A and B are shown apart, each in its own frame.
Chain A
Amino acid sequence: MKVLVAVKRVVDYNVKVRVKADGTGVDLANVKMSMNPFDEIGVEEAVRLKEAGKATEVIVVSIGPAQAQETLRTALAMGADRGILIKTDAEVQPLAVAKLLKAVCDAEQPGLVITGKQAIDDDSNQTGQMLAALWGRPQATFANKLFIEGDKAKVVREIDGGLQTVEIDLPAVLTTDLRLNEPRYASLPNIMKAKKKPIDEKTPESLGVDIASRLKVLKVAEPPKRVAGVKVPDVATLVQKLKTEAGVI
């Protein structure tokens, strides 16, 4: 079984991002970028499947600028076998990503596709679901545990208030939640070896996919600053303030 993992190059989770002065987005100049943490979990899960003899090949795919190749190299260093870079400098929204991944699925025929439940930059939480719909295959989102059993997968999902276990037919789409596994560190010898693993370059045009944006960003703003609180002497004052100042009761 081939496993396809989608990996996105995003602002590193340690970076404090700043909104651009004109409110059109986040300032990315000289900002450290790395693999979306949820995608790292996806790569880890795929590599573990391979180590357990359940997967035969792990393919990683990234959509983005030339530098997304670095993200693919990291995934290859973690143990993926080969990479596909769909190169574009344009903004690619979740629907377009799903369409591109669908095109890759058609070409590669994977038994399982793993995406992060969301990317930490735009937090859309849509790609996996849209891909499942376009591909016409089952989906198991927010995976907490994965068991491959023949041509089915048992997936424990994180849902509000608990865990839900579902069984789905393969091929299918899985989206990872935080607790699915703890990704390994790419070791230095493996980073060296990853240099020799192949990365295939494609473009949205070569895949025949229209990636034009369907959504328009109107404005990006900083979250409101927290203001200092006040201490109240007693409950009566609190209730009073909730009524008059906060206006919540």
Chain B
Amino acid sequence: MAVDQETFVQLKDAISRFVRERLVPNEDRIENEDDIPAEILREMREIGLYGLSIPEEYGGIGLSMSQEAEIVFELGQTSLAFRSAVGTNIGIGSQGIVIDGTEEQKKYWLPKLAEGMTASFALTEPEVGSDAASVKTVAVRDGDDYLITGTKRYITNAVRAGVFTVMARSEPDKKGADGISSFIVPADTPGITLGKIDKKMGQRGTKTCDVIFDKCRVPASSIIGGKPGMGFRTAMKVLDRGRLHISALSCGMAERLIRDALAYAADRKQFGAPIVSFQLVQAMLADSRTEAMAAWALVRDSARKFDAREPTSMEAACCKLFATEMVGRVADRAVQIHGGAGYMAEYKVERFYRDVRLLRIYEGTTQIQQIVIARNMLKQLQG
């Protein structure tokens, strides 16, 4: 799946222009209102951002992973809340269906998601985070249906969702990963309630909350792929792609941070000279530039392998580990270069510093990436 290069250049142009002209000027507004105004969400729908990774035959754009990475890099040029609003549709919310869904599920859901019905991904629970295979939410068979009961935590876009992908334990006799199925659950299914909106460190405008399922009835046909017990595997495939996506986002955000830091350093004068002329400031800029380029090179290479259908679980974990930690350091230096101004809400780097902190935590923490990488290395050693 990929779009021809000539068309892709146009798509990318259209998006970078939209980001520059419509999203960047609204950054302060979403920070102040802690929400994305409905009209901007509508514009984001109209321009087609929700369907980027959905195949063209199901109404999407059908970008390859390499192309998605480039587009997400562009979305990284502005507050991460915008990316988050469409992120679940591009990534974790839709990809389960794209990768493992039945033809019927694809035909029914994907065009809706491409058009902008928000899809949320519900895996995490109050007692289930990094150890995702220990999902406690249950799906109890009842005739041709299942009744889902349990609480999901920190679910991005739950308040905007038209549909949830829910991981629940459907095979009570199977422990761990093999007992989990992923269900497609319309958001208006009776038995779903939403908790209070979470108050977060950053990414204001991004909405997360608990999603509580109480004997929520869904037909057996809503299991992704139609086969119970495959849900965890589906989730892990989704996360492989998602990790490349988050990595590309980190690289984009690093670019913006470096640009802002460089502009500030060129403008700000101390000791009678622009601070950018001081070698210690230059070192911070140079380190950031180097690390950002290294991360981007890694992401592009891994995305290319992903598109070539080479195994990329380890590569995706390496990307997420390096790129998200990289952008943390770049943000930290950007604040440092701004001095006191970097601690002030008036300057964007203060906000981006908080925004990027999340990237090292969700879709697998840094530690989980390290575990995945080392496990792959051991597997290779054992042959």
Question: Which chain A residues have a beta carbon within 8 Å of chain B's beta carbons?
Answer: 14, 34, 70, 73-74, 77, 185-192, 195
Q: With both chains docked as a complex, state the minimum distance between the C-beta of A57 and any C-beta of chain B, in angstroms.
A: 22
Contact assessment for A70 and B14 in the assembled complex, using a CB-CB cutoff below 8 Å: no
Question: Which chain B residues have a beta carbon within 8 Å of chain A's beta carbons?
Answer: 3-4, 6-7, 9-11, 13-15, 17-18, 20, 22, 43, 46-49, 51-52, 56, 59, 61
User: Could you tell me the distance between the alpha carbons of A34 and B59 in the complex, rounded to whole angstroms?
Assistant: 27
User: Could you tell me the distance between the alpha carbons of A14 and B24 in the complex, rounded to whole angstroms?
Assistant: 15
User: Could you tell me the distance between the alpha carbons of A73 and B59 in the complex, rounded to whole angstroms?
Assistant: 20
Contacts of B61 in A (CB 8 A): 188-189, 192
Please judge, given known A-B contacts A192-B56, A192-B61, whether A186 and B14 are in contact too, CB under 8 Å: yes
9 tightest Cβ-Cβ pairs between the two chains A and B: A188-B48, A187-B47, A189-B48, A187-B48, A191-B10, A188-B61, A186-B14, A188-B11, A185-B18
Other than the given A34-B13, A73-B6, A185-B14, 13 more pairs (CB < 8 A) read: A70-B6, A73-B7, A185-B43, A185-B46, A186-B14, A187-B47, A188-B15, A188-B51, A189-B61, A191-B7, A191-B11, A192-B7, A192-B56
User: Could you tell me the distance between the alpha carbons of A61 and B222 in the complex, rounded to whole angstroms?
Assistant: 50
Contacts of A14 in B (CB 8 A): 20
Question: How many residue pairs at the A-B interface have CB separations less than 8 Å?
Answer: 48
With beta carbons under 8 angstroms apart, the residue of B4, B6, B17, B49 that contacts A188 is B49
Q: With both chains docked as a complex, state the minimum distance between the C-beta of B258 and any C-beta of chain A, in angstroms.
A: 19
Chain B residue at smallest Cβ distance from A195 = B7
Contact assessment for B52 and A185 in the assembled complex, using a CB-CB cutoff below 8 Å: no
Contacts of B46 in A (CB 8 A): 185, 187
8 contacts between A and B (CB under 8 A): A73-B10, A74-B10, A185-B22, A185-B43, A187-B46, A187-B48, A189-B48, A192-B7
Please judge, given known A-B contacts A187-B47, A188-B52, whether A70 and B10 are in contact too, CB under 8 Å: yes
Chain B residue at smallest Cβ distance from A189 = B48
Contact assessment for A185 and B10 in the assembled complex, using a CB-CB cutoff below 8 Å: no
User: Could you tell me the distance between the alpha carbons of A34 and B16 in the complex, rounded to whole angstroms?
Assistant: 13
User: Could you tell me the distance between the alpha carbons of A137 and B338 in the complex, rounded to whole angstroms?
Assistant: 60
Contacts of A192 in B (CB 8 A): 3, 7, 56, 61
Q: Which of A34, A190, A192, A195 gathers the greatest number of chain B CB atoms within 10 Å? A: A192
Contacts of B48 in A (CB 8 A): 187-190
User: Could you tell me the distance between the alpha carbons of A191 and B6 in the complex, rounded to whole angstroms?
Assistant: 11
Q: With both chains docked as a complex, state the minimum distance between the C-beta of A140 and any C-beta of chain B, in angstroms.
A: 29
Chain A residue at smallest Cβ distance from B14 = A186
Chain A residue at smallest Cβ distance from B20 = A14
Chain A residue at smallest Cβ distance from B21 = A185
Chain A residue at smallest Cβ distance from B62 = A192
Contact assessment for B17 and A185 in the assembled complex, using a CB-CB cutoff below 8 Å: yes
Please judge, given known A-B contacts A70-B10, A192-B61, whether A185 and B47 are in contact too, CB under 8 Å: yes
Contacts of A190 in B (CB 8 A): 48
With beta carbons under 8 angstroms apart, the residue of A34, A70, A73, A189 that contacts B51 is A189
Q: With both chains docked as a complex, state the minimum distance between the C-beta of A206 and any C-beta of chain B, in angstroms.
A: 24
Q: With both chains docked as a complex, state the minimum distance between the C-beta of A189 and any C-beta of chain B, in angstroms.
A: 5
Q: With both chains docked as a complex, state the minimum distance between the C-beta of A37 and any C-beta of chain B, in angstroms.
A: 12
